Structure formats: C-alpha cells, structure tokens
Amino acid sequence: MNDLVARARAFAEKAHGAQQRKYEKLPYITHLDRVVELLSSHGFDAPHLLAAAYLHDTLEDTSTTLADIIAEFGPEVGELVYWLSDLEQGRRKTRKLMSAMRLSRAPIEAKVIKLADLTDNTPSIVEHDPDFAKVYIAEKATILEHMVRVDGSKLTDLPLYKLAKGA
C-alpha cells in the first residue's frame, strides 16, 4: 500500500475510533476498506484518490476539519474530501438535493469515489432497513442523475457507475 494511502487509512481509523456501521455492527473502517477495494478493482488506484476515499466521511462523522485534512494530506486530497462531504444544513430532503447539486460540479475523481460509496452502502440499507431503503434509493437516483449532468458518458460508461446504479 502506498504511504499516502496507508497514512489516510490510519488517520481515518483513528478519527472514526469506536464508530460502527449502523446495520452491520462492524468497525467503520470496514466500509472505507470496501470503498477503496471497489475503486482499486475498477482501476482507480491513484494514491490521492484512494487517500480521499479513506477520508470521505471524516468531515461529516468526526471532529476532523478540512484544514486538518489539507495540512496532513495536501490540497489535492483535501479538495476531493471537500466535494464528498455532506455538510449542508436543513431538512433531509433539502440537504440531499443540495448534496446532489454539489456533486454535479465535482471532479470526476470525486464522483467515482461517490459511486463506490453508494455501491457499498446500498446492499446493507436494503437488507436491514427496507422502509428507509425506499428513501435512500430515491436519493441515490437523484445524486446519480445530477452527477452525470456535467460528465455524462464519461461517468455512465464506467462499470462502477452501472454497479452503483444497480446496487
């Protein structure tokens, strides 16, 4: 594992601490490992991209700040984490729409991380919370619809996009 990626994994594991996946009761790092594995298995193995994948939930779920990420991992990783962080305020429906609008403008590298994140999250939600799954699937469709507005076929032609859409 590349040094940058290893440092990001260690940072994320420490930042998330005792947090567990909601339905699986596994350490949170399990989700991040799976996202990175999905990306790697689809040929997305640039160290800054994989580092950002490990860090993509730290701003939302921990006391970590964007300044912390940039200081530790540089602006390239920090920018991807920024695009991936749902920090919007307000009611859930509004927050998720704002998130989709933000992701529509994100660099394609951030979008592929989001695809891997959606792909990993969906099965667990569908299996363990069918009622919420209806809401989540609709939100995911909105996010995917917005993400392709700028990148179109560059995104929709990716096997990872098809996997995220079908997950």
77-103 pLDDT per residue, tens: 999 999 999 999 999 999 999 999 999
pLDDT for 25 beyond 90: no
- Residues with active-site annotation: 60-61
Q: What is the pLDDT of residues 130-161, one digit of tens each?
A: 999 999 999 999 999 999 998 888 899 999 99
DSSP string, 20-84: B-TTT--BTHHHHHHHHHHHHHTT---HHHHHHHHHTTHHHHSS--HHHHHHHH-HHHHHHHHHH
Q: Per the structure, how many domains does the chain have?
A: 1
**Separation between Cα atoms, residue 86 and residue 107, nearest integer Å:** 16
3-state class (DSSP) for residue 136: helix
Q: What residues pair up with 20 in beta bridges, in sequence order?
A: 27
Owning domain of residue 36: 3-166
CATH code for position 49:
1.10.3210.10
Helices (H) and strands (E) in the chain, counts: 10, 0
